[in-house]
Structure 1
Amino acid sequence: MQETLNKYLHAFTRLKRGNTPLGIAPHKPVLLISLIELIEKGLVTENKVYVNADLVGTFKENWQLLVNTLHQADFTQPFYYLQSDKAAGKPFWFLVPYPGCQINAHIKSVNTLATTVAYGCFAEDLFLLLNDAVSRHTLKAALLNIYFPATQQHLRDSEKQDGYIHRLEDYILNEPQARYRTIKIETEEDVFVRSGLFKKLMLLPVVLQGCD
């Protein structure tokens, strides 16, 4: 296991990231940290990561805690482009489309992404590694130390009781009484997360749909 851990530590600390006028893009490490958190919380129990409110909401919540540049919090970008990163010469992140669908380019709409991609998945040895608590903690700590040395304490200190997801849940639950807290629903991703959380909180079934 140590050899496998070393392989992914090397890959995770050398992610391919775009160099923009705002600085080097932080999207991929935020996504990986978010994926690790979903496994930690038991929200991902098999090697299938669905495009849902838990995933997109966790990404946006971690973005607010960790990113201190003016980059746009675009979840769809790293979800697609992480496929280009490799560990020991082999990809470790894959997207599996619904039958009849193709993923030939970055899909910028999260709603289109959710109806095109059945799920994302890790290389099998990485998924096994992420299910080991010690290895998972080591990989997450490495991501925080390398990419967010100045803001990682915000994530460690936060119990997320007043974070992005909690505020959206509060917004939904108190909407009939119009007792809103300060929150802006501006982007398609915000609406996607809000809709998913509404279905979850109101115990409505979520139906995954593929392409026609």
Structure 2
Amino acid sequence: MSTDRLEALQYYARKFQRLRVDRAHGVAPHKPILLLSVIESFQRSLIRQNQIELSQQLNQTFLKNWSYLGSARHYPDISRPFFHMKSGKFWHLYANPGFEKVLSAKIKLKTFSEVKKAISHAYLDEDLFDFLQIPSTRESLLTILVRRWFPGQLEDIKKILQTDEFQDPPGYFREAYAMYMERLTEA
């Protein structure tokens, strides 16, 4: 790997380690779980072009990963990290027609339906997109992400990314998931 590519990989490793997360009720795992879900989507060849849509598939992957790694103190909502990941400067949002001003005005979109209505898709810096397509660099970024946000769970998380099965969730998750899915169908 060239020096430039190695420096770029180190740049994204630092970005993954320094995600801006909500800490009001303990560390909110939304952004790390979203990134794990995106990495899993690359691993399964579900993302082939630099467009990450807020799709049912990505949402299911996010909720599955949340069932293993989520927090009882936080609501398992993919829309907020999908929107706020832009603060990392490697995740960019592409507005739906007519919503360009909403994104440029820095209005905070708070609900799944608001995000879905305003945003066509997210896209990554080209270097990061390239890195996530290559198994070895994807593995390196996964390792960095897990060591920072889910220490000691790398082998478990590798297994989680291989399954479609939800963990038999504790009661808080079943209730939150049911409410979330109800909201989703209304959107």
TM category (shorter chain) comes to: 0.7 to 0.9
Q: Which of the residues 82, 91, 99 maps onto 2:97?
A: 99
Q: What do you get for the CA RMSD once the two structures are aligned? A: 2.3
Q: CA deviation at 1:38?
A: 0.9
Larger Rg: 1
Residue equivalent to 1:186: 178
Q: CA deviation at 1:152?
A: 4.5
1:10 is the counterpart of 2:14: yes
Residue equivalent to 2:119: 117
Residue equivalent to 2:76: 73
- What 5-or-longer segments of structure 2 have no aligned partner? 168-173
Alpha carbons of structure 1 residues 112 and 68: separation in structure 2 relative to 1, 3 Å: closer
| C-alpha contact 1:95 1:119 (8 A) present in aligned 2 | yes
Deviations 1:68-98 (A, max 9, x none): 442111211111111112xxxxx21111111
Q: Specify the SS of the correspondent of 2:8.
A: helix
CA–CA separation in structure 1 for the residues paired with 2:183 and 2:45: 24
Trace 1:197-212 onto structure 2 (pairs within 5 A): none
Alpha carbons of structure 1 residues 141 and 23: separation in structure 2 relative to 1, 3 Å: same
Q: CA deviation at 1:109?
A: 2.3
Instruction: Give the TM-score normalised by structure 2.
Output: 0.80
Instruction: Give the TM-score normalised by structure 1.
Output: 0.72
Q: CA deviation at 1:153?
A: 4.4
| C-alpha contact 1:66 1:151 (8 A) present in aligned 2 | no
Deviations 1:132-162 (A, max 9, x none): 1100011011111110125554433344353
Trace 1:1-150 onto structure 2 (pairs within 5 A): 1-20=5-24, 22-85=25-88, 91-101=89-99, 102-103=102-103, 104-150=106-152
- What 5-or-longer segments of structure 1 have no aligned partner? 86-90, 165-182, 196-212
Flag the structure with higher helix content: 2
| C-alpha contact 1:67 1:148 (8 A) present in aligned 2 | no
